Chain A
Amino acid sequence: MDNLVFLILGMAVVTYVPRLAPFLLLGNKEVPKKVDAFLKCIPAAAIGALIIPGVFNAIPDAPVAVLCGMAFTVAVGLWKGGIIIPVLGSVMVTYLVLLLG
């Protein structure tokens, strides 16, 4: 128990500090234009690497079911947008494919 609480607190610290440091370091200071442009490109770059290739391993033994779920998300997301239906729908589609497969 003690060991696990130590682990959790340690994880919390090393997660929180990198999240906080840029606020302390950058704040309202002016940054060069190129740096600003770099920071603005972070979202697209981050999301790309967060999704690929992790998504193919979301359920290690059932990549086909995952792909079906994601296909649903992409189809509905591009067609109608929104988040709730693409997310819950992808879970349901994955579930159905797993059941049938």
Chain B
Amino acid sequence: MKTLVVAQIVRFSFKKYGFKIMMDAKKKALKAGVPIFIGYFPAAIAFGILAKGCGITLLECFLFSAVVFAGASQFIALNLLVSGVGALGIILATLLVNFRHFLMSAYLSRRMGAIAKKYQFLMAFGVTDEVFSVLSFTPGHLSKTFVFTLQLSAYSGWVSGTIAGYVLGGFLPQVLTKSMGVALYALLLAILLPEIKKSFKIFALTVASGVLNVVLIKMDIFPNGWTIIVCILVIASLGAFFVEDDLKKGING
């Protein structure tokens, strides 16, 4: 009888404890996810409005965000579309613009190890600039719940914002929708700022990368989108040789 009671208590507390861990991960993820949703939403509204202006249907507009799920390249695609560039040209441009995610996924797969391997097909779909930025600056272990909650927040913000923009965009003042163009940059900045406060080296790498990007764009020798990739390769290599130890502490807690 006594053993049974003890067994019950152990089982109960284990259940409770396990449950609590899951809840904590969910809570932590929502705390990171809600701001991402809110950051994506206005940017997606801007996309929906622009898409409607280009004369594509609501279904096609929805498909853009739901299937491609890549902010900047969707805007570029619309631009090219109205300039009369053909599908193959736009697809090539998209490949170039989005290839930076290759490097981001490389970082995440190293960081997350076995979890990433198990859920790689679903997880890879949600590797956007902003999701990557939040994950990379989240200290400690990244749980499956945390990653997927974050990705789902981003995805739902992006897709629902797109539809809202397409359907309701006409009712918003034009100046306001124009202002929403700053949302994605503000989102990236807001993610970065706390890290900059903690580590001067992160600040130095960030600025160095931005300055190099300006120089590369001025030189005009790389296709659209590849300057970012060159910046990541050059600056991260420099960082690996010069500031290795401090960064490990700074980024991975």
Contact = CB atoms under 8 A, between A and B. Distances in A.
Interface of A: 1, 3-12, 14-16, 18-24, 26-28, 31, 34, 36-55, 58-59, 62, 65-66, 69-70, 73-74, 77-78, 81-84, 86-88, 90-92, 94-95, 98-99
Contact of A51 (B67, B68, B188): B188
Interface string B23-37: 000000000001110
Contacts of A9: 67
A46 B194 contact: no
A98 B210 contact: no
A52 B214 CA distance: 7
A4 B111 CA distance: 37
Interface in B182-229: 182-183, 185-197, 201-202, 205-214, 217, 227-228
Contacts of A94: 179, 182
Main secondary structure on A side of the interface with B? helix
B104 interface: yes
A44 B209 contact: yes
Given A11-B90, A16-B125, A40 B107 contact: yes
A15 B70 contact: yes
Nearest to B239: A41
Interface stretch (B3-11, B13-21, B141-149, B240-248): B240-248
B110 A36 contact: yes
A49 B64 CA distance: 25
A28 B113 contact: yes
Chain A CB within 10 Å — which of B88, B188, B237, B238 has the most?
A: B188
B195 to A, nearest CB: 8
B70 A6 contact: no
A49 B248 contact: no
A83 to B, nearest CB: 3
